[in-house]
Structure 1
Amino acid sequence: MKSVLIASFFLLTTCFAAFSQEKPNTAVAEKGLIKVSVMYPYAEGKTFNMEYYQTKHMPMVAGFLGSNLVKYTIEKGLASGIPNQPLSYMAIGTFYVKSLSDYQAAIAPNRDAIRADFPNYTNISPVILVSEVVK
């Protein structure tokens, strides 16, 4: 009986230790990356086709970025931070890249193709913010 209790205790503490280990902080791995946020402001009469953006436009631009691209995200605006106010942005697409100069070199020759694709998913002129991830 004593050996069963010891074995059970050992098994329980091993499982607890395995499940309670702290997860690595992925934000630390992103420190120093360049973040390019392409934001589509909300306004009356403006449209945005999220399906097209998600399946066609963003993968196309990601392909231009090649190995410089670490990841990209797509956000769909739901609400404003202030109750009963319209949302600020209908959507935000974000690219995380290793090098700003490599990003600019990849986008420059493809700028016309990227802009020509806008009417396929939106009638909004995006606002672009380039920043460095600090944490």
Structure 2
Amino acid sequence: MPAAVSILYPRETGATFDFDYYMSTHMPLVSKLWTKHGMADWQVFTLDSDSPYIVHALMHWESIDGFKAAIAKESAEIMQDVKNYTNLKPVTFMGDIIGSS
């Protein structure tokens, strides 16, 4: 069953986030390492000032199991890269897609 995974970065006092690095280096790394596990695509959104989060990365997957396999096998390099663009701890949500239009 297709799945979606959201990675959100909370809006916090003293937060830093290098959008250029994130888009030019981090997300291409994610694509390189996770596409082979079933990641179909990704989108990145900046969120308005009323949101409790500043950035939302949305990834579509062939299945939740594919995402879990990617995390188990390919997460070390991706997680080590986080410090290169932010001092925030990302929050992850995932679930099966049960409908779309």
* TM-score under structure 1 length normalisation: 0.67
Structure 1 stretch displaced more, 56-65 or 34-43: 56-65
Of 78, 85, 88, the match for 2:52: 88
Amino acid at match of 1:58: M
Q: Equivalent residue of 2:77, what SS? A: helix
Contact 1:61–1:114, Cα closer than 8 Å, also in 2: yes
What does the per-residue CA deviation read over 1:46-105, in whole Å, with 9 as the maximum and x for residues that have no partner? 11111111111111112212251221000112221xxxxxx3111011110112112211
Could you tell me whether the CA contact under 8 Å between 2:15 and 2:87 is conserved in 1? Answer: yes
1:60 paired with 2:24, answer no
Stretches of structure 2 lacking an aligned partner (at least 5 in a row) = none
| 1:76 matches 2:46 | yes
Structure 1: runs of 5+ lacking an equivalent: 1-31, 81-86
Could you say which structure has the greater relative contact order, defined with CA pairs below 8 angstroms and 6 or more residues apart? Answer: 2
Give 3-state SS (helix, strand or coil) of 2:86's partner. coil
Q: Runs of 4 or more off by more than 4 Å in structure 1? A: none
**What is the TM-score with the length of structure 2 in the denominator?**
0.87
**Bigger helix share:** 1
Distance 2:69 2:15 in 1: 31
Contact 2:8 2:56 in 1 (8 A): yes
Larger radius of gyration: 1
Task: Return the offset for 1:107.
Answer: 2.3
Is the strand fraction higher in 1 or 2?
Answer: 2
Q: What amino acid maps onto 1:39 in structure 2?
A: L
Question: What is the count of residue pairs matched by the alignment?
Answer: 98
Partner SS state of residue 44, structure 1: coil
Please, what is the CA RMSD of the aligned residues?
Answer: 1.4
- Asked if structure 2 preserves the Cα contact closer than 8 Å seen for 1:70 and 1:97, the reply is yes
